[in-house]
Structure 1
Amino acid sequence: MYSGNVTNPGTGSPPTSKSTPVVFIVEDDELMRESINSLIRSVGWKAKTFGSALDFLSYPRAVGPNCLVLDINLPESSGLDLQKRVAGERTEMPIIFVTGSGDVPTAVRAMKAGAIEFLIKPFRDDVLLEAIQQAIVSSRATIDAAAEMSDLQGRFVSLNAREREVMTLVITGLLNKQVAGELGLSEITIKTYRGRAMKKMKARSFAELVNMAASLRLMAT
């Protein structure tokens, strides 16, 4: 039985890219499902198999890098339907589609919706493993980016009201004396608040502070 580190959506620890990768397999053909499972485990990755989309969705969400090897044709719903669900709820989970038929329009739809790969059965083991490796790298990058954004948001929240006010004005390019005039404070006071804001945001330069503000969408459009 699978014993990897998992947590329910919205509970427990946030995903971390340093956790062991997990490959989820949703395939209704038992022989194909177990074949893919054995291949994945043979190279040292963890795997968890499901015979239907419902079984997969009922299982706790992975907290580390992961990907989904998904059959396009499933009993209760199509792989494309599950792809929509995953894209909305599990952005760190890239999808590799597998199918027994070369349906070009379906493949196009899957790739446009963000699938990493679309493989026609039978496919070579090395082709699937390469696609999984690419998917795990993508998953790690997504998790790291989310963690960086969470950290940046936390730094901004740590600013008091006046520090935020000063920061949102200085990033527009206003000089300290202009900000002072806007807020009815002395220029020295503005310099103090600006310095505190940069220290709490861990900005090493004004340009870096502006980039942080852009990431937080504080910049006027």
Structure 2
Amino acid sequence: MSDSNPIVFVVDDDISVRESVELLIGNAGWQARTFKTAQEFLSHPRVRVPSCLILDVRLPGLNGLELQKRVAAERPDMPIIFITGYGDVPTSVQVMKAGAVEFLTKPFGEDVLLGAIENALVRSAAALRLEDEALALHNRFAALSNREREVMTLIVGGLMNKQVGFELGISEITVKAHRGRVMRKMNATSFADLVNIAAKLGPIRQSH
């Protein structure tokens, strides 16, 4: 994950809102990127820095609710703060259930918006860290040989070295050698640590 300054994206078809929010974001020390339509926002490449999206519910073309679905699927590390001049309970419930971190009705206080942005950026940073950790685990697992993967799978499944050797048709000494390499390559400090790593890799291990 890059250490670059967090970015706050703003999608609102009202230029006065875009400009005022952009100024507020800049004064708070963050970068701002503004768009008047959802389509313009979607054409912007994904960034690998903490970020969030301030989104109007009513937009020309693709509306805020439809864009929320796209962002949730394609950019899960980007929390959404909804703003609207036409707030109603059903809409607020819908967007919050879909994962929005805040639903603000215009006009809203600057402190309220800044607090929501700060919370969203903390969440985004945490999500990116998890992505980076998962990628690192994936790369370490990919560095294992096929035999090492087999040994790891059987060991974390609860088999003793002798049982693993029987399953794979190799000696117990050979199993111990593979096990040692697995521990080193996966950066596992203990058997319990290796089990935890394997649990995180579950879907990845099945795909190999």
TM-score of the superposed pair, with normalisation by structure 1:
0.90
Structure 1 vs Structure 2 CA RMSD: 1.3
Aligned residue identity for 1:37: E
Which 5+ residue runs of structure 2 have no aligned equivalent?
Answer: none
- 1:61 match: secondary structure: coil
Equivalent residues in 2 for 1:1-221 (5 A)?
16-217=1-202
Deviations 1:77-133 (A, max 9, x none): 210000011111111111000001221101111001100100011100000000000
Q: Secondary structure of the residue that 1:49 maps to in structure 2?
A: strand
Residue correspondences, number: 205
Q: Distance in 1 between matches of 2:2 and 2:120?
A: 13
Q: Is the 8 A contact 1:17 1:140 kept in 2?
A: no
178-187 or 124-133, which deviates more: 178-187
* Alpha-carbon distance between aligned partners in 2 of 1:200 and 1:157, rounded to the nearest angstrom: 10
Q: Is the 8 A contact 1:101 1:120 kept in 2?
A: yes
Contact 1:21 1:65 in 2 (8 A): yes
Pairwise CA distance, 1:58? 1.6
Give 4+ residue runs of structure 1 displaced > 4 Å after superposition. Answer: none
Provide the rounded CA distance (Å) in 1 between the counterparts of 2:47 and 2:22: 17
Name stretches of at least 5 consecutive residues in structure 1 with no aligned partner.
1-15
Tell me, yes or no, if the aligned pair for 1:17 and 1:144 is still in contact at 8 Å.
no
For 2:69 and 2:57, locate their aligned partners in 1 and report how far apart those are by CA, in whole Å: 12
